[in-house]
Amino acid sequence: MRNIKLVLEYDGTDFVGWQSQVNGRSVQDEITRVLSQILQEEIKVTGAGRTDSGVHARGQVANFRTSATMKIPQLQQALDGLLPRDISVKSTNDVDNKFHARFDATSRKYFYSISRRPSALRRRFTWVVPFGLDPGLMKMAAERILGEKDFQSFCKVAAQASHYRCFVTISRWGIEEDTMTYEVKANRFLHGMVRALVGTMVDIGRGFTTLEQFDAIIAGRDRSLAGTAAPPQGLFLEEVTYGETTNTHSTTESDDPIAD
């Protein structure tokens, strides 16, 4: 039995999310359907992160097992030809049978894009924020979440998690002309965490929330204290990392909820 790893990118606009659901089209279902058609056997695909509805990916990782003997170049070619246009496979490789896309991940990196003006071409991939923002304050807020902290204030209330502590190694805003981008990397993420952080930091940039209040929001461990979640179209799962240790308290993802 082979174990095959895929690195994927997809436009999440028309999906209900990564995970198979009864109420709409999912990325997982599309990939499973195409692989089962190509390999002529029932396939079960496991993803590294269960991105939510409308969220995109440039570096989603998945794996599946198969008894088929099809060579990797032929499998890649078949995937390229049969997958819908809003999903593409960046790489396909045989991996060790022990590899698990979700449980073996040691960190994930997300990227969020904000446009300072409306854009017809980028409307599916960015949040338009036309009002004034103070990038300096937003950068200082981003630095405040580095290290290991409790992020319960930025987790959806209905989410089930064994704990709310995450170790953040990258948290920074970048500015280029009329675009602001947020990059964040951590050993684990909670359901709604990145979008809640972005929404709250935009409130800081607008002057609605102070840096001292941001510290109090983190300490308060209450989702009602934080700002409104940023919309999904600006968010990308950028990268999933394997084989690195984030810190001595790093945990597996086995009990984590959807991490957007």
Residues annotated catalytic, as ranges: 52
Q: Under a CB-based contact definition with an 8 Å cutoff, are residues 112 and 193 in contact? A: no
Residue 77 falls in which region: left (phi positive, over 0), alpha (psi -120 to 50) or beta: alpha
Residue found by looking up tokens 């902290």 in the block: 149
Per-residue DSSP letter, 190 = -
CA-wise closest residue to 107 among 206, 202, 10, 243: 243
44 phi/psi in degrees, rounded to 5: -120, 120
> What b/e sequence results for 161-189 when a residue is b if at least 16 CB atoms lie within 10 Å of its CB, and e otherwise?
beebbbbbeebebeeeeeebbbbbbbbbb
Handedness of CA 63, 69, 75, 81 (dihedral sign): negative
Is 115 in a helix, a strand, or coil? Answer: strand
Q: Please state, in angstroms and rounded to a whole number, the distance separating the CA atoms of residues 3 and 6.
A: 10
| Amino acid code (one letter) for 34 | V
Between 72-82 and 27-39, two packed helices, what is the crossing angle to 10 degrees? 130
Q: Which two tokens stand for residue 98?
A: 């022990």
Q: Which two tokens stand for residue 105?
A: 């991940």
| Residues β-bridged to residue 181 | 113, 174
